[in-house]
Chains A and B, each alone.
Chain A
């Protein structure tokens, strides 16, 4: 039965429709896999009961041959920073440890409307501030690759959507939603050997996604295949009156032809030289070159391009991030919801104690620096300047997309580091290295996708990133599928 879990969403849906399997069987396989891989700590909450109910409803629809969509009855997981109605949503923080939202995020609502079965809420760095899924109230999420059961150490899953990535990689679900602010979906996708899409800013509603950096956040999609990614994108993208920054133009479903029909002839693909930075590991560089050659051999035109402001992204991001964090975290005062410290001496004391106990040190650090940058006397010097740099980074993309249609870069500079090595660095050091290749896309709002290519000598996934201009998802996904078909990445779900 476990074989079900290695299928694509399309084919499971077909089997369900033909009556070869039932939604209950699919769900059971998924729940069993969650149980079996519990030690990886991918889930904060497993929503077994609601999943069983939802799956029964799907079953009725399949029996009537009227599924709601290709996702009907398909187990899906959602990162624990998307609000889910009557299901606790923690953000991996003590502050929201017992928070039960009274509403669904648009992403969750659309998944439910499409008949998908929510199997659980996945682990993340507290409030998505991190790139390893090591800073969660619920502990780190372990990467499923190269896991030695007798060792205390493990490879990090990447982050901050590490739980979602591990859930998909192990086959606990067919796809998951993460969020991507500086790479939080693509980074764990790269480390866990998955497809990770950061769509164009505003293509998928942020309503109900607990904000990290509003102007950079997008819901991200984690799946094992590009086709599965398209399936999830098609049911969740499109205008939402609850999010003013959502693109108001109606969304047109994307259909990608079978891989055999895809061609890259005459496609102009840029290789930005600034992404070959000094910390780039040889194996990653090699993979990058291999895929570039592969594309060239297939008829694409490859061109070296320059994006001079790339390296400024890290410092620019860190200012914008901390400013918006300082602002967004102001609502956690212990009054309306969430954790409240036991303190009666004054309202101010209650705020102070609640916040000092409810947040971890990473969050508190960002709040303090963010508020410093926003002081009237510092505003121009830091925040306004960061906005200008952000514009320069976006201009780099505008310029380069005059010459080429797509960009090919690494997603991360290395394979998944060992936890023991990773935690020796501070959170800000971790993020600045991890997000180097992924952040610029957030700055510009453009779509980007990470695709797994092959395994390193140590048996860890090596991935690359594609980026395109705003709303170029159809081309981006088609190119990703073309590469996916050529490289035939060995997914770990088949070996579990």
Chain B
């Protein structure tokens, strides 16, 4: 059964039609990659899933996105709990200017997940272990998260997210600020996380999409051109535009 379903989704920035009649359905506990050249609307699409586009005043959206059988644009949707359920990792690692510990404790505190100090400490430790940062950072919990390397910072952002127990992880070019080794580490982590979470990743790195994704969607100028199993998209796509893009004729 599909976890996320977009139906006749249209999005406008003022007069600019940024997403044109997008229909897609994303399966549970798989990695779905959205690829396409810059400006094709892939990040915009990702940011509709947790309604981050609401922060931009001129945005207007038609159509629906169904997550867990609920239309997230319905008036009764609680945006804060939607965003807790549908977490996001950003292009540039954005840890809070707080300590490593407080970065993870933030979500636990605002959602009242850990009540006692012991619970809090335990959950922070679990969070750091799940992104393989515990051994590196267990003696630096009190230091500022701004002093971490980019890879550590991005891992911390993922740990911070996992701590609030989301169902879906949206990743907006999570490796574009990282070097190839760090990228490889994050990709390994994604494959590990796939066991428990549904991951949607936006990337303009086609090889990355080919390496990690189960399903892949190709977008061009606001339209979702093709959506299929990753092997199919990367070996024998149905549409000419997709083939031209993955063979490097443009993009």
Pairing of A with B: no
